[in-house]
Structure 1
Amino acid sequence: MTRPALTDRPSDAADPPRRASPRPAPSARRRRFRGLATITLFLLPGLVLFVLLVLAPIAVAAYTSLFKWNGLGGLPDNWIGLDNYTRMFADEVFLGDLRRGALLIVLSLVIQLPLALAIAMLLNQKMRGRAFYRLLFFAPYVLSEVITGVLFSMILSPEAGLANQILGAIGLESLQSSWLAEPDTVMMSLFLVMIWKYFGFHMILYLAGRQSIPKELGEAASIDGAGPWKQFRYVTLPLLGPTIRISVFLSIIGAIQLFDLVWVLTSGGPIHSSETMAVTMFQFGFKRSQIGYGSAISVVMFLISLVFALGYQRFVMRRDTQGAITTMGDQR
C-alpha cells in the first residue's frame, strides 16, 4: 500500500482569486494634450470671430491706408506709401480733432467723473426713494446714442427748442443761443449732452464699488474720531481706487472713439468745430470716397487707443491686475 505524496498544500484547496491588474494611468503628456484640445475647442469660435471682425479689418485698413483709393474698381493699385499720413498731420481739421478730443477728455475727468462720484456717495446714504433716484440717473445711459442725439437736437433747437423757451420764460433772454449752430457754444453743448448720457453709468460703477467696502471700516474710523469727510478721504476713496481707475479708462477711450452722438447732433459742424477723429474718418472714408485717407485716420485712432490702453494698464492699473492674477492663482 503506497502512501500519498506529501504536498505543501492540500490538493483540493481552491486557488485564490486573481486581481485584475490596474490600467496604467495616462501619461502627463497625454493629459496635457487633452487639456489643450479642450481649451482650443472652446476658444476656437471666439477666436475665429475675433480674427474675422477685429484683426482682419485692422490689417485691411493698414493696407489700404498706403494707397490712394476710392473703394471702387477692384483692389487698390495706386500706391502712395505714407502720403496719407503726411497729409493727415498737416491737416488743420485732423489736428483740431486731436485738440477737441483732448478737451472732451479733460472735461470728462474734471467734471463728469467727480459729479458721478458725488451723486453715487449721496445715493449710498439712507434716504427715501433712493432706488427711484438711482433708476432716474441711470436711465439716460440705457437710451441709444441716436435717440439721445435726436432728443437734444430738438431741445437745443435755436427757434422752438425747450432750452431757449425756458430761458425766455424766466427772463434770461440774453443767454439764449443757437447752441449747436455756433462754433463758440457747440463743444460745451455737446459735452453737456455727454454728461447727461454717460454719467449715470459711472455713477453705478462708483455705487457698486462703494457698497463692496465693508461697513466695519467706516465704523472703526468713526470710533477713532474721523468725521464724514475724513472717512471719505482716508477710507472710502483709497478703497474705490480700482473702480475709479476703470472709470477713467472707459471715459478716455470713449472720448477718443466718440462718433454716433456727434454725428446725430451736429455731423461735425459748424465749420468742423465739433468734429472728432471718428467723424472725420467717416466723412472722408464714406462721404467723400477717399478710402485710403479714411483708413489712415482709422489706423492712427487705433494706435492712439492701443498705446493708451497698454500704457494705462502697465503703469496705472498694474496693482489691480496683479492683485486679480494673484487671487486667481490662490483659488486654483
Structure 2
Amino acid sequence: MSVATSMRAKRAGRPRSDKFRQRFEMGVLSVPALIMFIGFVILPVIMAAYYGFYKWKGFGKPDVNGQFVGFDNYRIILSDPSFQQALGHTLFIAVMSLIIQGPLAILFALLLNQKFKGRGLIRTLIFVPYVVSEVIIGTGWSLMLQPNGAVNAVLKNLGLQGVDWIANPKIAIWTLMFIISWKYIGFAVILMIAGMQAIPEELYEAARVDGAGFWRQQWSITLPLLAPTIRMWAFMSIIGSLQLFDLVYIIWGQYVSSTAGTSTMATYMVREGRLANNYGYGSAVAVVIFIISLVIALTYQRFVLNRDLAGATEQRERKQYERRAKKRERERMAESEIEAAIVPNNASMEVSAS
C-alpha cells in the first residue's frame, strides 16, 4: 500500500460523530437561555392573556376576586379613541425614527469610517447618549424643556419667544422625535460602521481603478452590501418604538394622559392598567402590543431575515468550499512529492537486491 493510499484511508476512517457532538453541546449550552426565555417571556405572555379575560384590580386571584368578561376588554381597547390615538402616535414615531435616524446614521457612519484625527472621540460622543439611562436622559430634558428651563432661556437671550415644548400637542410630538433621535442614533451609527468595515476593501480598489468616485462607490458598493445591516436596524428600531415608555413618561408625566401628541401604546397600558387600578384591562393591552410586535417579527423573519441568512450562508459555504479545495490541492501536491521521493528509493533497493 502506498503512502498516499494510507493517508486517504486514515482520513476516511475518522469518526463521524463530531457533528452530533457539536449539536449536543449547542443544545446543552442553550438550555439556560431557553429556561430564561420561557420564564421571562412565554409565561408572562400566557399570564397576561389569562388576566385579560377578567375585570380585575390586582388583588387576590382573578377568578375569585375579579369578574370574567371574556373578550370585552379587547373590544373596549380596539374601540377606545385614546388607544387609537396612542397606536397612531406609536406608528408615527416608528416611521419617523426610520426616516430621520436612518439617513443621518449612514452619513455619520460614512464620515466616521474615514481615517482622521479625533475619529474615536467623535464616535464615543455620538454613542454616549445611547448607553445613558432613560431616567437620566428624561430627567435632564424635562428640566431643560420647562417654560423657565434652559432651552427657553437661550431663546429669550436671542430675542426669541419661549415655546411650550411639553404641553403643546402640536410641538410635543416633534420634541419627542428630537430626543429619541438624539439618544438612539448612536446605536444606528455603530451598527452602520460595523457593517461598512465588513465590506472587503478590494471592491473599493477595483471601483477606483474603473474610475468610480467616492459617492458612486457608496451608491454601488456600500449601500447594497450594507442592506442587511440596515434592515436589521430598522426592525430593532420599530420594535423599540412599540415599547417606548420611559422617556415619554418621565418627560411628559401628567401630560401623557391629557396631551394627545405624546401618548404611546405603552403609556396607555400603564395609565389604564396600573394607574386606573384595572390590571385585567392593562393585561389585555399588553397582549395587543405583543401580538402587533409578533406580527412584525414574523413578517421580518419570513421576508427579510431568512433571505439575509440564506445569502450569508451561501457566501460562507462558498468560502468554505474554496478553503477545502485549496486544502485538497495542497494535500495532493504533498502526496505527489512523497510518492516522487519514495519511488526512486524503492527502485534503488530493488537494484541492490538483484
Q: Is the 8 A contact 1:284 1:293 kept in 2?
A: yes
| C-alpha deviation, 1:47, in angstroms | 2.3
Q: 1:8 maps to what in 2?
A: none
2:229 paired residue number: 243
Query: How many Å apart are 1:226 and its aligned residue?
Result: 1.3
Q: Residue type of the partner of 2:39?
A: L
Alignment of 1:181-192 (within 5 A): 181-192=167-178
Relative to structure 1, is the Cα distance of residues 234 and 177 closer, same or farther in structure 2, using a 3 angstrom cutoff? same
- Deviation by residue 1:14-47 (Cα, 9 ceiling, x = unmatched): xxxxxxxxxxxxx999x96x87775554333322
Residue aligning to 1:145: 134
Q: By how many angstroms is 1:51 displaced?
A: 1.6
TM score, norm. by length of structure 1: 0.84
- Over residues 246-287 of structure 1, what are the superposed CA-to-partner deviations in whole Å (9 max), with x where a residue is unaligned? 111111111111111111111325434311111111112211
| Residue 94 of structure 2 corresponds to residue 105 of structure 1 | yes
Q: Does 1:253 align with 2:239?
A: yes
| Counterpart in the other structure of 2:277 | 289
In 2, Cα distance between equivalents of 1:130 and 1:96: 42
Are 1:89 and 2:81 an aligned pair? no
1:327–1:127: structure 2 CA closer, same or farther, 3 Å change rule?
A: closer
Deviation at 1:72, TM superposition (A): 1.2
Counterpart check, 1:156 vs 2:148: no
Quick check: 1:109–1:248 contact (8 Å CA) kept in 2?
Answer: yes
The alignment-based identity, stated in percent, is 44
Q: Which shows bigger deviation, 301-310 or 162-171? A: 162-171
Instruction: Give the match for residue 157 of structure 2.
Output: 169
Q: Give the equivalent residue in structure 2 for 1:49.
A: 36
> Which residue number corresponds to residue 204 of structure 2?
218
CA deviation after TM superposition for structure 1 residue 154, in Å: 1.2
Question: Which one is further off, 211-220 or 134-143?
Answer: 211-220
* Correspondence for 1:229: 215
Instruction: Note the residue ranges of structure 1 that are not aligned, 5 or more in a row.
Output: 1-26
Count of matched residue positions in the alignment of Structure 1 and Structure 2: 302
The answer for the alignment partner of 1:266 in structure 2 is 252
312-321 or 228-237, which deviates more: 312-321
State the alpha-carbon separation in 2 of the partners of residues 246 and 318 from structure 1: 12
Instruction: Tell me how far 1:292 sits from its aligned partner.
Output: 1.2
Matches within 5 A, 1:30-69: 40-69=27-56
- Matched with 1:14 is none
What residue identity is the alignment partner of 2:182?
W
Give the counterpart letter for 2:151 in structure 1. A
Is the 1:182–1:270 contact (alpha carbons within 8 Å) kept by the matching residues of 2? Answer: no
Work out whether 1:280 is the aligned partner of 2:275.
no
**Are residues 1:134 and 2:120 paired?**
no
Q: Which amino acid aligns with 1:255?
A: S
Whose helix proportion is higher, 1 or 2? Answer: 2
CA offset digits 1:92-131 (Å, max 9, x no partner): 1100011101111121111111111111111112222111
- Matched residue of 1:240: which SS? helix
Cα distance, 1:131–1:36 mapped onto 2, change above 3 Å: closer
Partner Cα separation in structure 1 for residue 285 and residue 134 of structure 2:
23
1:159-217, CA deviations, whole angstroms, 9 ceiling, x for partnerless residues?
1x1211222222332xx211011111111101111011000010010011111112221
Aligned equivalents of 2:115, 2:25: Cα separation in 1: 49
Larger radius of gyration: 1
Residue 180 (structure 2) aligns with:
194
Structure 1 contact 181–269 (Cα < 8 Å) conserved: no
* Aligned partner letter, 2:249: W
Q: Distance in 2 between matches of 1:196 and 1:39?
A: 39
- CA RMSD in angstroms, aligned pairs only: 2.4
List gaps (5 residues or longer) in structure 2: 1-14, 322-354
